[in-house]
Structures are given as structure tokens and as C-alpha cells.
Amino acid sequence: MSGTVADRKRLLRVTAGNLRQYHIYINGHYDFFPKDAVGGANRRADGTGRPIEIVLDGLGLTIKTDIGREARTGKPRRFFRGRKWVREFFEHHGINTGDVLATEQ
């Protein structure tokens, strides 16, 4: 394997907002995901980006999602599209505020 650990793995701290809204905030980590993984603001009207496949440890599920854009600014949103899978993951693992999640390529 080449590169540094930061090229292959990122740590994401869970906040109270994550738990309340069922999001995983990825702001500050956009460089970790392919640029074409950012889709439009509205999935139906604007389309989606190239899907990111996320294997959810412990659930035996692979999620295909993308990162939406803010409708007003066109900037990437701070979280993945979709919430149901995040809620299921949080509940399955008993995730609390301050817990750290690892994402790997």
C-alpha cells in the first residue's frame, strides 16, 4: 500500500447534531471522496453524483449514496444523502455523542 494513513482512513467525531438529525458530517473531508460523488441539490431534478459505496460494519449492508449540494450556494452539503441507514447504524452500535467513527477507502 502506498500513501499515508490519512489517504486511506478518516476519523469522524459524532456530535449531538449527528444523533438528532441522523447525519454523518463530512465537512473538512471532501478531499477523501471522489469529486464526482457530489450530486445535485435535488436528487430527482438535478441527479446524483457517482455513488459512494459504504459498508456498514455489524449490519452486513452496503449503502450506495452520494453527497448532495446546497440549493442556494451550489456547495457540497456537509453530510451524505439519506438518513435511514445512518439511524440504523447509530442504533445498532449504540453510538453516542463524542464517539469516533472510522471510514476507510
* 51-70 per-position pLDDT tens digit: 889 898 888 889 998 888 88
**Percent of the chain, pLDDT > 70?**
91
**Residue 36: how many CA atoms within 13 Å on its side-chain side?**
2
Flag whether pLDDT at 30 surpasses 90.
no
Phi and psi angles of residue 63, each rounded to the nearest 5 degrees, phi first: -100, 140
Flag whether pLDDT at 27 surpasses 90.
no
Name the nearest CA neighbour of 89 among 78, 99, 74. Answer: 99
End-to-end Cα distance, the chain: 12
